[in-house]
Structure 1
């Protein structure tokens, strides 16, 4: 919603201010389609040239993050802590019983309580792989933490690629606008024998290219890249919480302490309160009983 509001504000302030100052939008409107063929076409072409098909699909998909926002809401962090609580408690009470849940999470009654988390392959894989490794005595907290950190870095690097790719396009667009403007000047010089009013229109059309390159780059493309990075950074806390709880578990802290470590390491604006989480865990315990 905020993304749409931002776009409306940009258009109203830029073009509204131009018209209010006595500007005439007709030359801009008439020149825009042809200038956008040059600028937009070159931008898309350079983007395709710089990325493989997987990265292109990933970037196009991530454009929706500008409008959808973050994936993980505060309630999801509470659910994640409850899920980890159930798994850790079961693993300590009955190491054999936990195997069916971490080997086939899609059929797990525990994971099934949290469908949104279960649909996230990265989160489920991190939980199951780490707990499976612990059951095979790969349980050194420092080694596991290092492995999880590298996994988080790799996942983050993949997720943030869209932002970098779009930012590269934003950096190039002002220069592509100059290219369009230069082509317009070349066209104008080829018609130097025309009357001044015609030459003025042609020069104005050429300058629209420079305007569009800068306007689109800094008004839309760069903010899109920034917003995508912001969303990726925000959602990364969800996976860091998994790391904190599972590493605390390997330190053999009490189950409640492991969960509290994860809660306290979650940023305040998405962190469930102690009382809220306590109520949720009580519900989990009563359901299990």
Structure 2
């Protein structure tokens, strides 16, 4: 919701101040300057990135305006799933979970957590390491090193949209100068015109510099920062899986392992200790009822 409030406030502040100084709005009507600056900026993104990164960047910006992000409820679902898995490991052993790991989207346990299933990368990440643990040969420090490397690669991939937007923000002032130079060239071609006409042309040329700096520091740069923050919340999703499984490998009880996972979640949506405790109590009741039903 930040951009929906901040960008209109930015426009009101800048344009309101300009009008307050006695500026004429007609001078700011420079559609071809806008075409040069904005079009060139978009073109540099397309030239410098694979198409899937361009699409991911557009999707990431769209998520900012629609409010789509990882929430506390998503984190609670993840921790609830991890708790159920660890309790099942303790009660049934790893062999009982092999079918679930191989076909998570058909698993009754996973189906109880649709928000987790909606994150295919996280599902694959979790199942890959559960599969590794099922082999019984992995040592905690070896698993941790492998997880760290995979999360590093994931983080690099997740941050491509924010990096792309930041590169665009860095380029916009220079592209504004390009538009201004072209405007000055046009003005020089009309050097024999009256001062009021020449002044209009020079004003239009300077608008290109204004637009490049305005878009860079007022719009694209802040959006790049917001996209990076949203991606950080997604990365902490994987960090929670890592911390929980490592705590389990080191002998921690399921409730304690879940707390390890909770502590590394992004602070913007990190659930409280009480919320996680209530969730795990609920999961324990579900597991108990399922066992009683199977025994009957």
Same fold (TM over 0.5): yes
Task: Tell me, in whole angstroms, the C-alpha distance in 2 between the residues paired with 1:264 and 1:54.
Answer: 33
* 2:196 matched residue in structure 1: 197
| Separation of aligned partners in 2, 1:62 and 1:272 | 24
Instruction: Give yes or no for contact 1:70–1:232 (8 Å, CA) kept in 2.
Output: no
Residue of structure 1 equivalent to 2:145: 146
Query: What is the alpha-carbon distance in structure 2 between the residues aligned to residue 125 and residue 255 of structure 1?
Result: 21
Unaligned 5+ residue runs, structure 2? Answer: 289-296
Distance 1:176 1:278 in 2: 54
Q: CA RMSD in A?
A: 1.5
Cα deviation for residue 70 of structure 1 reads: 6.0
Say which is worse superposed, 66-75 or 159-168, in terms of deviation: 66-75
| Residue matched to 1:50 | 48
CA distance in structure 2 between the aligned counterparts of 1:124 and 1:54, rounded to whole angstroms: 21
TM-score (norm 1): 0.94
Which SS does the other structure have where 1:63 is aligned? helix
Q: For the structure 1 residues 176 and 271, does the alpha-carbon distance in structure 2 shift closer, same or farther, using more than 3 Å as the test? A: closer
Determine whether 1:240 maps to 2:234: no
Deviations 1:116-162 (A, max 9, x none): 11110111111111111111123211110111111111111001011
Deviation, 1:82, is 1.4
Q: What is the aligned partner in structure 2 of residue 210 from structure 1?
A: 209
Residue correspondence of structure 1 range 213-224 to structure 2 within 5 A: 213-224=212-223
Does the CA-based 8 Å contact 1:70-1:234 persist in structure 2? no
* Contact 1:139 1:250 survives alignment (8 Å): no
Q: Please give the alpha-carbon distance, in whole angstroms, between the structure 2 residues aligned to 1:68 and 1:118.
A: 21
1:81-136 Cα shifts (integer Å, max 9, x gaps): 11111111212322222112111110111111110111101111111111111111
Distance 1:248 1:70, change over 3 A: farther
Tell me the equivalent position of 2:99: 100
Equivalent in the alignment of 1:75: 73
Count residues with an aligned counterpart.
Answer: 287
Q: CA deviation at 1:279?
A: 2.1
Q: Structure 1 residues 243, 68: CA separation in 2 closer, same or farther (over 3 Å shift)?
A: farther
Q: Give, in whole Å, the separation in 1 of the partners of 2:137 and 2:57.
A: 37
**Structure-2 residue corresponding to 1:26:** 26
Normalization by structure 2: what TM-score?
0.92
Q: Distance in 2 between matches of 1:207 and 1:275?
A: 57
Q: Indicate how the Cα distance of structure 1 residues 272 and 46 shifts in structure 2: closer, same or farther if over 3 A, else same.
A: closer
Tell me the equivalent position of 1:15. Answer: 15
User: How far apart are the structure 1 equivalents of 2:264 and 2:201?
Assistant: 60
